[in-house]
Structure 1
Amino acid sequence: MKHTLSVLVEDESGVLSRIAGLFARRGFNIESLAVGPTEEIGISRITMVVPGDNRTIEQLTKQLYKLVNVLNVYNITNIACVERELMLLKISALKEYRSDILEVVNIFRGHIVDISKSFLVLEVTGDPGKIAAIQQILSQYGIVEIARTGKIALTRASNMDTELLLESTRAQKQFQYL
């Protein structure tokens, strides 16, 4: 299972290196990593996606707390969150396919950020599922390059799990057709 950890750290040089070293020494992979400043000066938030079972994540959390500059570690995997990623795609865009590509980009509320005779560079922001979906659809046109940020996430103030709501709405609609 993949877990999302939100780690608050003192904004000092070497913190990220020590955290990455901790994971490397224990043979764990970080699938996604995003780091940035928080609302408080001198504090940064590291959001990472890590594969592992609950016991493994619990051990990693304890190890993270032993690092000097780590202030708090939150496992937000099963908490209602707003999650986003940013992806830039350079795609082969022959003249005859451009309108099809633009239609897909509009459906996913993406943006064209660069254009040339043979290529388009697209910007797409959304939850990880949306990012994966547009990447899969546009792959038929020839993706030349991709750059993705890691997932960033904040817990929802409302504690409303929109994914759970979407699933229950879909289930209700399917039940109506039976």
Structure 2
Amino acid sequence: MKRVITVTVINQSGVLNRVTGLLMKRQFNIESITVGHTEQPGISKMTFIVNVEDEQKVEQLIKQVSKQIDVLKVNDITDKSIVMRELALVKVVSPPSVRSEMNSIIEPFRARILDSSKNVVTYQVVGHPDKIEAFIELLKPYGIKELTRTGATASVRDMQKLPTTQLSILK
């Protein structure tokens, strides 16, 4: 089962190494990791996607990561309402004879053409990791020359309270 774990840390040298080392020691396979600055200076957020079979292992992992120096907060946001995005750059073999066909395939994904040469096009696509996978699968028959993915980043959605009048309409 895939779990989405966020870790808020003080941006210090070695903190990423300590956290990933702990995951490695506990034999968690990190499928995706992103790290970036937050709205607060000196604070970064890590987003991990890990494969976990045992629910108790997740709880144990969260407790142990929370004890690390420089770790401010650890959350398993898998079961929450979240927004998750990933970016991919995909270089595809694209002779002029198939470009219009390829452009019609990529259009529903809202991918952008970043670079184009005589026989290669580089696309940028942003979305949920499943969307990225579907995009890649559609382009494989054309010949993917190079693929680079950022890894997923995620945030919990803010739940807004609806006014009482709107609640009665929804019932």
Fold shared by both chains (TM-score > 0.5): yes
Counterpart CA distance in 2 for 1:23 and 1:152 is 18
Q: What is the Cα deviation at residue 140 of structure 1?
A: 0.9
1:62 corresponds to 2:92: no
Alignment match, 1:171: none
Counterpart CA distance in 1 for 2:138 and 2:149 is 16
1:93-129 C-alpha deviation (Å, 9 max, x unpaired): 0121111111122221000000000100000001111
Alignment match, 1:23: 23
1:111-157 C-alpha deviation (Å, 9 max, x unpaired): 00000001000000011111111111111110111100110111111
Counterpart CA distance in 1 for 2:109 and 2:34 is 23
Counterpart CA distance in 2 for 1:23 and 1:130 is 27
Counterpart CA distance in 1 for 2:50 and 2:125 is 23
Alignment match, 2:127: 126
Alignment match, 2:114: 113
Alignment match, 1:75: 76
5+ long unaligned stretches in structure 1:
160-178
Q: Secondary structure at the match of 1:144?
A: strand
Please, which moves more after superposition, 76-85 or 49-58?
A: 49-58
Counterpart CA distance in 2 for 1:62 and 1:108 is 39
Matched pairs, number: 160
Alignment match, 2:164: none
Alignment match, 2:5: 5
RMSD across aligned C-alpha pairs, in angstroms?
A: 1.3
Alignment match, 2:36: 36
Counterpart CA distance in 1 for 2:76 and 2:24 is 19
TM-score (norm 1): 0.87
1:77 corresponds to which letter in structure 2? Answer: T
Counterpart CA distance in 1 for 2:56 and 2:101 is 47
Q: Secondary structure at the match of 1:30?
A: strand
Counterpart CA distance in 2 for 1:3 and 1:106 is 30
Counterpart CA distance in 1 for 2:28 and 2:154 is 21
Alignment match, 2:45: 45
Q: What is the Cα deviation at residue 158 of structure 1?
A: 2.5
1:47-102 C-alpha deviation (Å, 9 max, x unpaired): 00011131111111111011111100010000000110000000000121111111
TM-score (norm 2): 0.90
5+ long unaligned stretches in structure 2:
161-171
Find runs of 4+ consecutive structure 1 residues off by over 2 angstroms.
none
Q: What is the Cα deviation at residue 25 of structure 1?
A: 1.6
Counterpart CA distance in 1 for 2:108 and 2:25 is 43
Alignment match, 1:146: 147
